A and B are shown apart, each in its own frame.
Chain A
Amino acid sequence: MPLYCKIKKYLSSFTLDVEIDTSDERMALLGASGSGKSMTLRCVAGIEKPDEGQILLNNVTLFDSEKGINLPPQKRNVGFLFQDYALFPNMTALENILTGTRKLHKAERDSAARRITQAFHLEGLEARYPSQLSGGERQRCALARTMVGQPEILMIDEPFSALDSYLRWQLEQELDTILDKFGKPILYVSHNRDEVYRLCDRITVMNRGTSESSREKWDLFRNPVTYHAALLTGCKNITSVTASNNHISAPEWGLEFDTEETTEAVKFMGIRANYIIPAHKAGKNDEGVIFDYEIVREIEDTFSCILMVRRRNTDCTPIRWELRKDERHAMREYPQRLCIPRKHILLLK
């Protein structure tokens, strides 16, 4: 249990109420912007002070409201990679890296900085200022500066949010490689579900300051359990349902079906836009909700077609259905019947 953090902080718009328990893996905090992810990191780093709770890092108490412990950020040995890297503009790359060596013994500082400059492929750039570095070099420089002090955990705050998609992909791959070498627990904050899925092992979903318990990433995406988790993992179709006696009805979509699962706590259901299939493609053994549809709107995307469909001759809320372009063409030869496979229906709290 490298990091244990259970804190509350009363903010003007909501109350931050988080419980995080990391293992040695890469943990992600996934949440919409303004859900308190960054604030959580800042509390762990000691830049912000929580109102209540406890933060422990490798069994050292960093913060404890009851015991009155609040270590200053300088004493926390927490690495923090900021959103825009926060390199000091008045210092060269090497000087920036040297600022990260202050926790080391004086005699080791220079050699540590030189070693990490090599390891991060920054040779030849030592004398450049941050404004003279490319995006990738800046990221490596910031990571080198953070890691040269050998922090016990590395926290990363939305590193790619300001970048275009091409550069973002490159930097993400580079970060992934570096993090593999780092071998320390990582707490990664993002609102991008794909990025989080590619980079991390476990995910904690955050919504308006409240954290849900952490889950294996594949488990979370397969069965999000809660409304917000479904939304954050990219489920495009979610509707409220009434459930009773193993029978579920979704009035906004005009659909009903039976299920064997317990339905007591179910308040919503969801279906991912690319898991909907035309009825003729459903196998005989595939259970599913089948209905005739009409197309409300058709949107052509880069590599797919998005159809907004609803139950035929009703005013129901349209459901978003995504299919490949060639599939869209083939659709014209078949009856307008859809199947929402039972195994892909998400029952949500």
Chain B
Amino acid sequence: MDWFPLWNSLRISAIGTIITFAAGIAAAYYVMRLPRALKGICDTILTVPMVLPPTVVGYFILVTVSPKSALGTWLHDWFGVTVTMRWQASVIAVVIVTFPLMYRTVRGAFESFDKNLTDAGQTLGLSNTYIFTRILIPNCKSGILAGTVLAFARGLGEYGATSMVSGYIAGRTATISTSVAYFWQINQDKMAFYWVMINLAISLIVLFALNAFEKNRRRAR
């Protein structure tokens, strides 16, 4: 059995989650401090990928970076790089699809955070960087972890946008979820079943981890 799809899925989801992690925290932090009207607009835009069908996300990615697009042409002409139909394109898809999960969870944690603590930090003369890294982040740790786990799990199961931007190329872009669909289509039911079981096992592990964090969070309060 070729284990490439498992490795590829983990790789795509891990890299995607790292990017989402940083972007989600940053976005949550800045949106939280915006004036109310602007906050609503930003919030809507940043959350949209969560409710859009992944194929629509895929469509937008293709429109932006495919060799036919302006950016795609530019990348190809100047760097000799084609983004689509490669595993790297899946990372873009994963980042966009998982971003709202991270952003929403972290913003929830930031908003339930006692604002008096940041105010106290300021009156004590602590810099905003210190307050962010040493007070806000540590006290929102469980929310941030939960968001990260959710993002990673969602990234692993990404299918719609991934199959549009990277397709299924055995040994190059195949992921667990695209393998399931591929093997089912070519009537290799047994292989499809194996990948289904692997996917199920990973999902269960992730959800157990998530529950453990939740329990910790409740105990901490």
Contacts and interface: CB of A to CB of B under 8 A. Distances in A.
A94 to B, nearest CB: 15
B56 interface: no
Contacts of B121: 88, 99
A146 interface: yes
B33 to A, nearest CB: 13
Residue among A73, A76, A88, A145 with the most chain B CB within 10 A? A88
Interface string B118-143: 01111111110000000100110000
Interface stretch (A17-25, A77-85, A224-232): A77-85
Contacts of B126: 74, 99, 102
A76 B119 CA distance: 13
B120 A103 contact: no
A79 B124 CA distance: 7
Contacts of A146: 124
Interface in B94-123: 114, 116-117, 119-123
A214 B90 CA distance: 68
B123 A78 contact: yes
A255 interface: no
Contacts of B139: 88-90
Interface residues of A, number: 26
B108 to A, nearest CB: 18
Given A47-B119, A82-B116, A82-B119, A102 B124 contact: yes
B119 A72 contact: no
A86 interface: yes
Interface string A30-69: 0000000000001001110000000000000000000000
B123 A103 contact: no
Given A84-B116, A86-B117, A99 B124 contact: yes
Contacts, number: 58
B124 A145 contact: yes
Nearest to B135: A88
Contact of A47 (B123, B127, B138): B123
B119 A103 contact: no
A101 to B, nearest CB: 9
A100 interface: yes
A243 B198 CA distance: 89
B114 A102 contact: no
A86 B116 contact: yes
A149 interface: yes
A146 B125 CA distance: 10
Contact of B120 (A76, A86, A90): A86
B3 to A, nearest CB: 41
A315 B126 CA distance: 62
Nearest to B119: A47
Residue among A73, A83, A103, A145 facing the most chain B CB atoms (10 A cut-off):
A73
Contact of B123 (A80, A83, A89): A80
A79 B122 CA distance: 10
A143 B175 CA distance: 57
A74 B117 contact: no
Contacts of B127: 74
A184 B6 CA distance: 66
A113 to B, nearest CB: 13
B117 A88 contact: yes
Contact of B122 (A74, A88, A90, A100): A74
A97 B135 CA distance: 14
Q: Which one of B116, B125, B127, B135 has the greatest number of beta carbons of chain A within 10 Å?
A: B125
A82 B120 contact: yes
Contacts of A88: 117, 120-121, 135, 139
B135 A73 contact: no
Given A82-B116, A83-B116, A90 B138 contact: yes
A139 to B, nearest CB: 14
Nearest to B120: A86
Contacts of B125: 74-75, 100, 102-103, 149
With a 10 A CB-CB cut-off, give which of A45, A72, A84, A86 has the most chain B CB atoms. A86
B110 to A, nearest CB: 15
B116 A100 contact: no
A47 B117 CA distance: 12
Contacts of A72: 122
Contacts of A42: 119
Contacts of A82: 116, 119-120
Contacts of A75: 125
B213 to A, nearest CB: 16
4 closest cross-chain pairs (CB), A and B: A86-B120, A73-B122, A90-B138, A80-B123
Given A82-B119, A88-B139, 16 more contacts: A45-B122, A45-B123, A46-B123, A73-B119, A73-B122, A75-B125, A80-B120, A86-B117, A88-B117, A88-B120, A90-B135, A100-B125, A102-B125, A146-B124, A149-B124, A149-B125
8 contacts: A45-B122, A47-B119, A47-B122, A73-B122, A86-B117, A88-B135, A102-B124, A149-B125
